[in-house]
Amino acid sequence: MKKISIKAAARAEYGKKAAKAFRREGLVPCVIYGGGENVAFAVDVKSLKQLIYTPNSYIVEIDMDGKIEKAVLREVQFHPVREQILHIDFYRVQEGKPVSIAVPVRLTGNAEGVKIGGKLALSARKLVVKGLVENLPDELVVDVTPLKVGQTIFVGDLQYEGLQFVSPATQAVCAVRVTRASRGAAAE
């Protein structure tokens, strides 16, 4: 899994008033929890761009006053109008304990149904998986070559070594939809 480093400064003040003061300075209030004590800190908004505005998932290394904590992004809160980042929650990664994270899906191959005029539709851009940090992939690669018109690949159909799916087994990942061209080809 890809890693990204972020510099952070511990914060002692809590509450609405303190959070607003941090945001005025161009900082985002954050918290890291899980596996011990909760730690509140603040991060520069500019350093979060490549973490938040990307389809990729990362293991985040938070450098807080020389002490490095490994974590995964759990939740981001945005302002409803300005789309400014208000608050971020991180979940601490512990050695030997599994972690849940949303991993992007990448489709490979040329589906049989697409060759005769069907349309390939990706239903889930990311799937939530659980596993040890060492086993987490950068992306879940799904081969769509055997799909015919009207067929769907579900989460329950996928298996990866060392990973357990948190997403429901009945969730559709991708499908080949029926089109006018595929109906005509089927009639012939």
Q: Is the pLDDT at 185 greater than 70, yes or no?
A: no
Which tokens belong to 38? 């909760």
Query: Domain span at residue 122?
Result: 100-187
Is there a single domain that holds both residue 128 and residue 64?
Answer: no
**Number of helical H runs and strand E runs in the chain:** 4, 13
The predicted structure's pLDDT at residue 153:
92
Is there a single domain that holds both residue 69 and residue 19?
Answer: yes
Task: Say what the pTM is.
Answer: 0.80
The predicted structure's pLDDT at residue 166:
92
Mean pLDDT (the chain, rounded):
87
- pLDDT tens for residues 65-116? 888 888 888 889 898 998 888 889 999 888 888 988 899 999 999 988 888 8
- pLDDT tens for residues 136-166? 888 999 999 988 888 899 999 999 888 899 9
Cβ atoms of residues 64 and 47 within 8 Å: no
Last residue of a domain, one of 94, 113, 142: 94
Is there a single domain that holds both residue 87 and residue 131?
Answer: no
Is there a single domain that holds both residue 47 and residue 121?
Answer: no
- β-bridge partners, 43: 8, 28
Is there a single domain that holds both residue 82 and residue 160?
Answer: no
Is there a single domain that holds both residue 73 and residue 128?
Answer: no
Tokens 């149904």 -> residue: 113
Is there a single domain that holds both residue 51 and residue 104?
Answer: no
Last residue of a domain, one of 52, 78, 94: 94
Is there a single domain that holds both residue 90 and residue 104?
Answer: no
Q: What is the CATH number of the domain that holds 154?
A: 2.170.120.20
- pLDDT tens for residues 116-125? 888 899 999 9
Cβ atoms of residues 154 and 169 within 8 Å: yes
Q: Is the pLDDT at 184 greater than 80, yes or no?
A: no
Cα–Cα distance measured from residue 179 to residue 15, given in angstroms and rounded to the nearest whole number = 55
Percent of all residues in the chain with a pLDDT value above 70, rounded to a whole number: 96
Is there a single domain that holds both residue 43 and residue 18?
Answer: yes
The predicted structure's pLDDT at residue 26:
84
